[in-house]
Amino acid sequence: MLSGAPRLRFAPAPTGLPHLGTARTALFNWLYARHCGGTMVLRIEDTNAELATAAHIDQILETLEWLGLDFDGEPVFQSQRGTLYDAAVDRWLDEGRAYVDDGAVRFAVPDDGVTAFDDIVRGRVEFPNASIDDFVVRRSDGSATFFVANAVDDLDLGITHVVRGEDLLNTTPKVVLLRTALGATDMPTFAHLPLIVNKQRKKLSKRRDDVSLISYRDQGVLPEAMVNYLALLGWGPPDDIEVRPLSEIVDLFDLADVNAAPAMFDVDKLTAINGTYVRALDDAGFAAAVEPWVRAEPWGADLDAADLSTVAPLIRERTRLLGDAPGRIAFLFAEPQIDSDDWAAAMTALASDILDRARTAFSETEWNAATLHAELRAIGESFGLKLGKAQAPVRVATTGRAVGPPLFESLALLGRETTLARLDTALAKLASAADSGE
C-alpha cells in the first residue's frame, strides 16, 4: 500500500447529467481527504470525444460548487494527457505485453494465476486471470481506453486511495494488471462503495428513477441537506445522530466504517432532512432561499422584497422543499385556485352561516391576527364548534386550500377588502349550488 498523506481523486466522465451516485462518490472522496488532511484531485475523464461535452463538464463543476465540495489545484483533463497513454501502450507493445488485433491494441492477460487487491469495504478481492479476456487498451482510432487512462493517471498523480462505486469493481483487476505492467510495485487502497438502490431494492436507474442531482436542486433541496443525506448512503455516524453539520461529518467519517450492503435512496427521508435544514434558517435566510422560486411565478416577478420577507416566515415551519413555497403563498398575491376536494370537505351544512357571520364580523372589527382569531372563535362557539371546524370554510374560501400557513396572520396580510371579497365569492357559490340543488 502507498504511504504518506492521502491523495484522492474524483474522476467523473462528462457524458451526462450529474447523478446521485456520482455525487455520493465525490462526497466520500472529499470527506476522507478532508478527514485525513490529504489532497483532493478533480480529474475529468473526457477521453471519449463522442460523448464528453463542454456543457457536461460545466454541469459537473456547477453541481460540485453547489454541494460545496472544493478541490486542490486545477482540474486534470485526460483529453490533454494522450501522450502519456500512448507511451504506456507503446511500451507494452515493445515488451510483448500487448498486441495488435483488427486495428486495436489488446493487453495480453496472463493465462494463469489471480489478480488480487485489498478493498477497505469488501476485504480481499481476487479475480482468476483465466476469467479476464484480453482487453482493448488502444482503440482502432488510436485513442486509449478508460483502463489505460486510469492506471497511468493514478500512478502519475500519486493517488493513494481509489474510492468509487461498486459497479466499477470488475474493472479494477484490469487497472491493477496495467499498473503492474507500468512497473508499479505497490497499489492504492481501494474502496468500492455500495450500490444505491430504490425502495424496491433495485439499482437506481436513469430510466426508472429520478437520479439527477440538478432535479433535486431545482425542486428546492438545500445543498447542506443533500450533502448530509448523501453521506448516509453507505455510512452512518457512530452516535446515530444523522442530521448534523458537515464539519462534524468530516470529523467522524472513515472509509473503514462504510457498509458493503446496498444503500437505499429514500426521497421521503431526503425531503424530511431538507425540512430540518429549512426550519433552521432564520427569517431573512429563508426569504432569500425561496426568492428564486417565487420570482419564477407570474405574480412573483415584480413582488416587493419587503412583502416577501414579511410573508415567507409564515410558511417556513411547514416547508420541506423550497419549490413548494410559491404554492403556499400564491393566494396572498393572486386569486386562489380552489381545491375541489378541500372545498367539498369544508363546505358543510353550516358553512354558509359561518361565512356570513364571519363576513359581518370581519367588516367591522380591528384588522389584526389576534382580533380575527377571537372573532372566528366566538362564531364557532355559537354553533357549538371548535375553532378548527369553524375556520375550515373560511380558510378554503380565502386561500383555496384546507392546509396552509397560519390563517389569521394570512388574513391580516391579505387585507380586509380582499378577504371580504373572497368570502362574498364563496357565499355566492354556495347559494348557486343550493339553488341548483347540488
Question: Given strand 123-128, what is the order of strands in its sheet?
Answer: 76-77, 39-44, 7-10, 161-165, 189-193, 114-119, 123-128
Cell of 251: 470529523
Inter-residue contact 427 to 352 (CB < 8 Å): yes
Q: What is the Cα–Cα distance from 303 to 329, expressed in whole angstroms?
A: 12
Residue 379 one-letter amino acid: I
Q: How many helices (H) and strands (E) does the chain have?
A: 18, 12
| Pairing mode of beta strands 136-138, 123-128 | unpaired
How many CA atoms within 13 Å lie on the side-chain side of 212? 11
C-alpha span between 6 and 188 (Å, rounded): 10
- 3-state SS, residue 107: strand
Cell, residue 36: 485525513
CA distance 166 to 421: 61
What single-letter amino acid sits at 306? Answer: A
Contact 232, 242 (CB under 8 A): yes
State how beta strands 136-138 and 104-107 pair: antiparallel
What percent of the residues of the chain are helix, what percent strand, and what percent coil, each to the nearest 5? 50, 10, 35
- Kindly list the catalytic residues: 206
CA torsion 430-436-437-438 (nearest 10°) is: -60
Residue 293's contacts (CB-CB under 8 Å, 6 or more residues apart) are 220, 322, 323, 325, 326
One DSSP character per residue, 329-378 reads: HGGGTS-----HHHHHHH--TTHHHHHHHHHHHHHHS--SHHHHHHHHHH
- What are the φ and ψ backbone dihedral angles of 124, each rounded to 5 degrees? -75, 130
